[in-house]
Amino acid sequence: MAGSLLPVDEALAILLDDTRAIANTETLDLIEADGRILSEDLPARVTQPPFSASAMDGYAVRAADADAAGALLSVIGTVAAGETPRQTVAPGTAVRIFTGAPLPPGADSVVIQEDCQSVGGDRIKLIEPTKSGSNIRPAGQDFREGLTLLRQGRRLEARALSLAAAGGYGTLPVYCRPKIAVLATGDELVPPGEVPGPGQISASAGIALQSLARANGTQTRDLGIARDNAAAIEAAVASARAWGADVLITIGGASVGDRDLVGPTLQAMGMTLDFWKIAMRPGKPLMVGNLDAMKVLGLPGNPVSAYVCALVFAEPLIRRLARLAPRNRLMRAFAAEAIGPNGPRRHYMRARFTDRTNALVAPCSSQDSSLIATLASADCLIVRPPADGPVKPGDPLSVMMLDPNEP
């Protein structure tokens, strides 16, 4: 039994239930709006195409003149894209026309140039007959002014941005990106790139969390490393609040050691604190709290525990804040080899595909939660239910993809 440990799904439900999507908005140029969430319905400002246009290079004609092969027509002018037609197509005449050009008055069809033959002077002969409406894009065929092109909540990507541009928009109203501040804690840590002194190591968990947060529609701020004392933690938390962080993610100091000061310090600053022991492995200790409008998520210090907790809790949390649909990282796979029984906690085992076509996975040989190299080389996490029995080769497994390729 997991004892007093909180099941993962229960903890996640409590966390999400208490999280409201970001409401403040800004207006951005189209390219800056890429990847953002539209904050209003977008009505078309124009009709597209605004005029009936030719879909092909050829001749604008009256279909009644061109309903039989061999018809002869006099070419009385030319109209190209961007021009206004100067001639009216009268019976027996045609106007040379290019793709995208407005259809001249009188014409109701375009014959492609491959179906016409020059017969000297300004005269052409039709090789193929045509019908009314052929090779014409009628005005408003794509959309009409006032039509809702994109709905509030739509994630803006290439196609949506193109539609907005066609609809007359150069800037778009979007939701602001949630602000995620990341704070490492620990006397033993030095910033990445600095040479660690005796007893020290490089802080490596924070960059992973920032990367994950950014991949989920947020802006991040690295608050650096707070030493293991209340004043340092207080100063870092104050800078997160001054920046207006929506979420503060802390790393380390979440356990039961004498130096695990993150929770008590935040509490002394007025944070309502829930300290949870989650029935998961890695990543048992998890702190959740609210300091005014700022949500605080305290992750365990071991880099693998921090990252797995971030995938399980922080990603769904920040996607909800950022108004992104939940990401489904789960897929079905099959055991490439026998795996022993699981303990009382849900176990996220780093694993690699031995055969991608048949979705065969094998756990990495060591599951120690400090092994960053194993995490970087893994493809997925096998999700073992609490108290799962031994797994035989070929048994179905649920896996959480580490690098799903959808946005």
Ligand X SMILES: Nc1nc2c(c(=O)[nH]1)N[C@H]1C(S)=C(S)[C@@H](COP(=O)(O)OP(=O)(O)OC[C@H]3O[C@@H](n4cnc5c(N)ncnc54)[C@H](O)[C@@H]3O)O[C@H]1N2
Which residues form the interface with ligand X (CB under 6 A)? 184, 186, 188-189, 201, 203-206, 251-257, 260, 284-285, 300-303, 305, 369
Contact region for ligand MOO (CB under 6 A) — 19-27, 137-145, 157-165, 277-285? Answer: 277-285
Per this entry, what is the length of the chain?
407
- Element housing 372 (H / E): helix 372-377
H helices present in 197-302, as ranges: 205-214, 230-243, 262-268
Cα 95 to Cα 85: distance, rounded to the nearest angstrom: 9
Shortest Cβ 160–ligand MOO spacing (Å): 40
Single residue of 305, 320, 371, 382 touching ligand MOO by CB under 6 A: 305
Cα 89 to Cα 124: distance, rounded to the nearest angstrom: 14
Residue 404 is encoded by which pair of tokens? Answer: 């799903």
Single residue of 49, 58, 283, 316 touching ligand MOO by CB under 6 A: 283
Is the CB of residue 316 less than 8 Å from the CB of residue 16? yes
Cα 303 to Cα 306: distance, rounded to the nearest angstrom: 5
- Among 340, 405, 354, 403, which residue's Cα sits nearest to residue 375? 403
Residue 138 is encoded by which pair of tokens? Answer: 């009628």
Taking the mean position of all CA atoms in its chain, how far away is CA 20?
Answer: 19
Shortest Cβ 356–ligand X spacing (Å): 31
Shortest Cβ 303–ligand MOO spacing (Å): 9
Contact region for ligand MOO (CB under 6 A) — 131-139, 199-207, 234-242, 280-288? Answer: 280-288
Residue number with CB closer to ligand MOO (47 or 305)? 305
Cα 157 to Cα 176: distance, rounded to the nearest angstrom: 16
Cα 275 to Cα 256: distance, rounded to the nearest angstrom: 11
Q: Which does 44 bind (CB under 5 to 8 A by kind): ligand MOO, ligand X, none?
A: none
Residue nearest to ligand X (CB): 301
Residue number with CB closer to ligand X (69 or 201)? 201
Annotate each residue in 336-375 with x if it binds ligand MOO (CB under 6 A) or - if it does not, as one string. Answer: ---------------------------------x------
Shortest Cβ 206–ligand X spacing (Å): 5
Task: Please report, as ranges, the residues that interact with ligand MOO according to CB under 6 A.
Answer: 281-284, 300, 302, 305, 369
